[in-house]
Amino acid sequence: MTRNAGEARSSDFCRPHEAARRALCSIDEVLELLANGELEQVTYQAEYLFEGIMVSTGELRAKTKVPYPGWFHPNEVAERLCISYDEAAWLMRKETLKSEWINYRFGTAIVTTKQAVDEFDKRYISVSAAAKVAGKLPPSLVRKLGKSGVPPAINNQSGRPLFYHRYDLVS
């Protein structure tokens, strides 16, 4: 039971409870949209029963019309910087990417500004984005940069290179 799943990135899909948190809405809103058939980007894995329902956070955010003008949520940061949602949220929680917690609708959310993301993006490039530009796979780019003596600027929570300084890759 996948409907229009090709329109959303696979990393955009998650369980309804997590999608509600990421979209800054309530689980009741998600369930209401599901029950009324208003969500088009839904996948279902039957072997997981109710836990197998996955919805697109991007579509959910658009359908719940949650405005947070001027703020970037980790979803937008992840998309802009070519990283995962979890990595974007981690950067924001660690204050590596200037951000703040705001009280919003159903709880608190961590957000940043477009200006902060632009400034961050001018200084750093993600391994994924750099690999795409170089026409390589991320692991082979990391190996090549390591052999060249170019250290990563930011490692993720598990120690894997996540970002490099842009000036290290230009020279």
Cα separation, 101 vs 95, whole angstroms: 11
3-state secondary structure 95-149: CCCCCEEEEECCEEEEEEEHHHHHHHHHHEEEHHHHHHHHCCCHHHHHHHHHHCC
Q: What is the pLDDT of residues 28-79, one digit of tens each?
A: 888 999 999 989 988 888 787 778 889 988 888 778 765 566 788 888 899 8
Q: What would the two tokens of residue 124 be?
A: 């750093």
- Say which DSSP state 52 is in: G
Q: Evaluate if residue 140 carries a pLDDT over 90.
A: yes
Q: What would the two tokens of residue 46 be?
A: 């039957």
Q: What is the pLDDT of residue 105?
A: 66
Q: What is the pLDDT of residue 2?
A: 43
Q: What is the pLDDT of residue 65?
A: 63
Q: What is the pLDDT of residue 142?
A: 92
Q: What is the pTM of this model?
A: 0.65
Q: Evaluate if residue 7 carries a pLDDT over 90.
A: no
Q: Evaluate if residue 6 carries a pLDDT over 70.
A: no
Q: What is the pLDDT of residues 99-134, one digit of tens each?
A: 988 776 666 778 899 899 999 999 999 999 999 998
Kindly indicate the confidence band of residue 163, based on its pLDDT and cuts at 50, 70 and 90: very high
